[in-house]
Chain A
Amino acid sequence: MKDWLTVAMPKGRIFTEAVEMLRMAGFELPPEFDDSRKLIIDVPEECFRFILAKPMDVPTYVEYGVADLGIAGKDVMLEEERDVYELLDLQISACYLAVAGLPHTQMNDVAPKIATKYPNVAAAYFREQGEQVEIIKLNGSIELAPLIGLADRIVDIVSTGRTLKENGLIEYEDIVNITSRLIVNPVSYRMKDARISDVVERLTEVIEQEKVVK
């Protein structure tokens, strides 16, 4: 009997690209997959169970082993620092983490403030720069913070730069490039060795092909 594999998929931006990639790797995923509102989708033909989670939570599901595999952005991996294997760079959903703010502004000398969804990454970055800053955690619409004076700078992911532009913000520094990763629970990596290796090999092939096309 084949082992079932549970895969934690991030809802939203990465989801479509990740599904497309799995299909290219030859996994038969049903068509209703794309616009289902279900949180758990079983694909018995492939012995796969997909769970749809908030992107930030994917590494948590995988670390605790309730999902064997997961697809998570490197931004989330850096922020969460979960004890999981980061096996493949899927090269999808490319973007980067950047420091942004209003044009022609300096950081406040008295009490520099940074608003972000990634407090750990932001704190680590400014510590490395030797800057002492106050980190303010927000859960979305980070661009608001400098506009209404909550923070001098924001740390956020940038993919096209449109959101920043539309809100009159500019990038000051790039922190790190981000792509999505295939992550694996350390126990599953051993106990379901054969199946996981199969997934990894098939995905690797797709990544290689994509590289050639590009």
Chain B
Amino acid sequence: MSRLFMFEKPLGMRDTLPNLYMMKEEVRLTMANEMKRWGYQFIETPTLEYYETVGTASAILDTQLFKLLDHEGHTLVLRPDMTAPIARVAASKLLKEKLPQRLAYSANVFRAQQREGGRPAEFEQIGVECIGDPTVSADGECLGLISSALMKTGLEQFQISVGHIAFVRSFFQEILGTDERVEQLMRFLYEKNYVGYRVHVDQLSLSSIDKQRLKQFLKLRGGPEVIKEAEDLLECNAGVEALNELKTLWGIIADYQQDALIKLDLTLVSHMSYYTGIVYEVYAGNVGFPIGSGGRYDLLLEKFGKAKSATGFAIRLDHLLESLDKPFEQPPLSCIVFSLERRKEAFMLAEQQRLEGKKVVLQDINGVEDIDACSALYEDITYLVGKQKEGSR
């Protein structure tokens, strides 16, 4: 490896400079306030977790984890998502009251990138987890909250695609029989390889009707009519329960009056094993990647010793900012340039202006080399310089 430049950072790590910081903060606050209005409580968890616990329970692939050793030789990971840590906390501390817990977070997560060195390996996610409520109402609430929070940020064009993993599993199971064959076929969906899916289906020893059903499955995308189309594909009761959940869900989002933003896509398989029920991804214009995703993960809490149902979502703040595409507006800054003789006067004026809600910089005139360049930076500038009591230069 060549010698590092002093300004270099590890691959995929980024600095956030003031302008971007302010934009991020504004969006984060808008989202967080909406989550709080819906009764979600924010928590923080450590950046480092044990590999054996949170690391292996997490939905993120092993190759994407940043690992290190502590002084006792335990393998640690930089948290790759927030869901697993929150499940850990919830299972060990919070679920004693047997009431659903509504938790929220905004935190940086870490995922090593193999491709394209510049892709962020650390990025901020803001999201919620609703733990201990197995009803579809909880999934519906998450969808309602996403739409409402995103609209508050000013995002105009976005869409949420909703699928159901349990439906895919039971539909495939009914036709294919074994778990292994189900996994095989699901992998094609996960890899978004529909060509491979069709070829694989053609090679299976199945009746031509079943093959047709499996191919027809790829078309289950669109509005609420998709549920009916899916029902027509079923031959027995497998999958009916999942479809009923989707029906209920559609009713819920209609009641939230947000059905225009939501589409069904039963082919959506966003992870091979993590999710167990309703899943969704959030898409917005201007960005080629989903800005967020979520779903029900009923098996995760079990790994931490409490078999509880849970659902939640996370929005990637960097992708959201990119799709908002808002020009940055520098909030007005005032400056008071003072000399030692009038320091106290300057401090009092600054305090007064700050009470009025202004952002005020106090600058000792001896600390500035180029006074013209300095004054060009600020909306209004006051000079309290020299002996005389009156006026600004």
Contacts and interface: CB of A to CB of B under 8 A. Distances in A.
A57 interface: no
A178 to B, nearest CB: 12
Interface string B210-221: 000000000001
B194 A87 contact: yes
A65 B192 contact: no
Most chain A CB within 10 A, of B195, B198, B222, B287, is at B195
B288 A185 contact: yes
B192 A86 contact: yes
Given A187-B288, A191-B285, A88 B161 contact: no
A6 B103 CA distance: 41
A88 B194 CA distance: 7
A17 B196 CA distance: 22
Contacts, number: 50
Nearest to A63: B288
A181 B195 contact: yes
B283 interface: yes
A84 B289 CA distance: 10
B186 to A, nearest CB: 15
A190 B159 contact: yes
Interface in B277-307: 281, 283-285, 287-290
Contact of A187 (B199, B221, B283): B283
Interface string B314-335: 0000000000000000000000
Interface string B154-168: 000101010000000
A89 interface: yes
Interface in B242-276: 263, 265
Interface in A169-196: 181, 185-188, 190-191, 193
A87 B196 CA distance: 9
B63 to A, nearest CB: 13
Interface string B191-205: 011111011000000
Interface residues of A, number: 19
Most chain B CB within 10 A, of A86, A87, A190, is at A190
Given A86-B192, A86-B194, A89-B195, A193 B221 contact: yes
Given A190-B265, A191-B283, A85 B288 contact: no
A108 B192 CA distance: 39
A85 B159 contact: no
A83 B195 contact: no
B192 A85 contact: yes
Interface in B150-196: 157, 159, 161, 192-196
A33 interface: no
B287 A88 contact: no
A84 B285 CA distance: 17
Given A187-B283, A190-B159, A190-B283, A86 B289 contact: no
Contact of B288 (A66, A88, A89, A181): A66
A64 interface: yes
A187 B290 contact: yes
A188 B46 CA distance: 36
B287 to A, nearest CB: 6
B220 to A, nearest CB: 13
Given A193-B221, A193-B263, A187 B289 contact: yes
B195 A65 contact: no
B161 A190 contact: yes
Contacts of B192: 83-86, 186
A83 B196 CA distance: 15
Contact of B287 (A65, A85, A89, A193): A65
Nearest to A181: B195
Contacts of B157: 191
Contacts of B193: 86
Interface string A151-162: 000000000000
Interface string A191-207: 10100000000000000
Contacts of B289: 65, 186-187
A190 B288 contact: no
B215 to A, nearest CB: 11
A63 B281 CA distance: 16
Contact of A87 (B195, B265, B288): B195
Contacts of A185: 288
A119 B304 CA distance: 42
A125 B311 CA distance: 40
6 contacts: A65-B287, A86-B194, A190-B161, A190-B265, A190-B283, A191-B157
Which 4 pairs across A and B sit closest by C-beta, in order of nearness? A65-B288, A85-B192, A187-B283, A89-B195
Interface of A: 63-66, 83-89, 181, 185-188, 190-191, 193
Given A64-B288, A89-B195, A190-B265, 20 more contacts: A65-B287, A65-B288, A84-B192, A85-B192, A86-B192, A86-B193, A86-B194, A86-B195, A87-B194, A89-B198, A181-B195, A185-B288, A186-B283, A186-B289, A187-B284, A188-B288, A190-B263, A190-B281, A190-B283, A191-B283
